[in-house]
Structure 1
Amino acid sequence: MDYRRLGTSGLKVPALSFGTGTFGGSGPLFGAWGRTDAAEARRLLDICIDAGVTLFDTADVYSQGASEEVLGAAIRGRRDQVLISTKTGLPMGDGPNDAGSSRGRLVRAVEDALRRLGTDHIDLLQLHAFDAGTPVEEVLSTLDGLVRAGKLRHVGVSNFSGWQVMKSLAAADRHGWPRYVANQVYYSLLGRDYEWELMPLGKDQGLGALVWSPLGWGRLTGRIRRGQPWPEGSRLHDTAGFGPPVDDELLYRVVDALDEIAAETGRTVPQIAINWLLQRPTVASVIIGARNEEQLRQNLGAVGWSLTPAQVARLDEASAVTAPYPYFPYRRQAAFARLDPPLV
């Protein structure tokens, strides 16, 4: 397993990490993802750790804390072998202070996560969404106190816009508070919006990307083909409306390219889609998920090899879409390129 530095921090994370949204699944979304119990979770963690996958990502909102509880049970007795990433900020109840990043909410959320995980510290806490109702100074000073207390090692964000990240980083620099070092983002061959603003920001400011839904919300599993209905038993029947929308023609264009490269390489469609992501700038780790051992072992096969430059170029072309203003392709013309050289 390749290990990469997370942003400008000293923390090294595996190129593949494991997402635990399937653990303890309940509700219309997480119940459809999976219902992994503690015994099965421990088996999946055994396979991950043997392969060098030592970062496990969860969130308090995943099945209302059940995912953290199952993960905590699965790591019992081997906490020092793993890194834990969790997220908070989305609603955990109907009360006025059950969502967001206010001081009281953050302190309570961290204490609850530590209890559910059965640990005394969290390696990476990420804010699951920007809280426009709480000053960034309140958020960051609270995170600073939690880091100083030893309850958090590093902090990051997820689902923030560029200006929200920069406003927070500016405040952190101004007051000497911990900077965000991670940005957990949606990024896939079916959704490359990350490249327009957040990727250059990450490169400039030192945020490592942790990629969620690398298979385009389950569309790049190798089971979807042009002109055919979604496979029977696919989670998309129940969860498509929760995830990012995807244009059908883009989907089939990407799938056609993936199928061609799969025939050339002997690799599966998911392995190729994940390997493409691992070659992108700023990507620190790609979060894979699995409901069972077979899915996990297949996804682990995305590392240890590389697509050729020509294959990467074909996938780039198949997945390209026109960017919105001010990221129009004309910015890549000579006059703009002198001022804004492309990352990819």
Structure 2
Amino acid sequence: MEKRAFGRTGYEFPILSFGAQRIVDEHNCTEEDAIRIVNRAIDEGVTYFDTAPIYSKGQSEERLGKAFGSRRSQVWIATKTIDRTRDGSLRSLEASLKRLQTDHVEEWRLHDVRTMEQLEQAFAKDGALQALIEAKEQGVIKHISISGHTNPSVQLEAIARFPFDSALVALSAADHFIYSFAHEFVPKANEQGVAIIGMKVIGLGRLAKWYEQALRYTWSLPISTAIIGMESMEQLENNLRVAKSFTPMSEPERLEFLKEIIHLANPDVLRWKAKSWEDDKEWAERL
């Protein structure tokens, strides 16, 4: 698989990275299957694994911890805090480390910072960012990150205020049409050496009909890697197949693809850009 530089960190990763949200009972993936899928991914050169404590109440982290075992040194773990306070985030990290069966993670990120208000909370004196800074100083984490699904302005403000090592942002082809991280955030992040990780690549399954094109669209962007959610060995093998044969999408190919999917540009499909996950009739406001 093609490998790319991870921002200014000095590391590089294959274009295919592992989104671990789906290796859980909730998605009909057993623990035994999860362990097999993760180890198969490692065998094939996948090294970047993304998870979070809120994914099935910690089950995603637990299963990664069990799967890695003696192979811990072969992988890069990225987990998150949804708490906006210092103390709450530090407690969250302590619990994550136990579930992951490790004494450190390579990357810890502020999870789903949707609004300027949430950003201010995280940047406050006793906010979550302070926890990330302290954890890095103590060697418990190696790199500081942020994620955003909704409003590129929030993540642009974040990297203007603090030298984040990376950012996990929504970069599906359907995201191209509104509140576009590809248009607004990616160029500035690249200028600053911030590693960019793409997510929502298959649009929660709504781009499944255009599976290979969806992967190629995101990988054709100037990003470091993209996390793809996988809940079965079949999905992993398909992702590996497309990644190994990847060629960048030409401009005419991209135009034709976008014409095919423009009807998906509505808040019912792009729920992470809707007013809320529950209210998918209106777009989020960009205040």
State the distance in 1 between where 2:160 and 2:200 align. Answer: 29
2:140 to 147, 151, 154: 151
Match of 1:180 in 2: 164
Match of 2:274 in 1: none
Cα root mean square deviation, aligned: 2.3
- Displacement of 1:318: 4.4
Q: SS of the counterpart of 1:62?
A: coil
Whether the aligned pair in 2 keeps the contact of 1:186 and 1:211 (CA below 8 Å) is: yes
- Displacement of 1:158: 0.9
Unaligned ranges ≥5, structure 2 = 266-287
1:314 to 256, 261, 272: 256
2:199 to 206, 212, 216: 212
- Displacement of 1:180: 1.1
Unaligned ranges ≥5, structure 1 = 26-30, 90-99, 173-178, 223-268, 324-344
- Displacement of 1:129: 2.7
Structure ranking higher on relative contact order (CA contacts 8 Å, 6+ apart): 2
TM-score normalised per structure 1: 0.67
41 and 164 in structure 1: CA distance in 2 versus 1, 3 angstrom threshold: same
Q: SS of the counterpart of 1:7?
A: coil
State the distance in 1 between where 2:193 and 2:70 align. Answer: 34
Whether the aligned pair in 1 keeps the contact of 2:5 and 2:12 (CA below 8 Å) is: yes
- Displacement of 1:317: 4.9
State the distance in 1 between where 2:190 and 2:73 align. Answer: 30
Percentage of pairs with the same residue: 30
Moved more, 124-133 or 151-160: 124-133
TM-score normalised per structure 2: 0.79
Match of 2:155 in 1: 165
147 and 195 in structure 1: CA distance in 2 versus 1, 3 angstrom threshold: same
Match of 1:286 in 2: 226
219 and 316 in structure 1: CA distance in 2 versus 1, 3 angstrom threshold: closer
Length, aligned pairs only: 252
Whether the aligned pair in 2 keeps the contact of 1:9 and 1:181 (CA below 8 Å) is: yes
- Displacement of 1:46: 2.2
Q: SS of the counterpart of 1:105?
A: helix
State the distance in 1 between where 2:189 and 2:166 align. Answer: 9
Match of 1:6 in 2: 6
Whether the aligned pair in 2 keeps the contact of 1:123 and 1:152 (CA below 8 Å) is: yes
Of the two, which has the highest radius of gyration?
1
Match of 1:55 in 2: 48
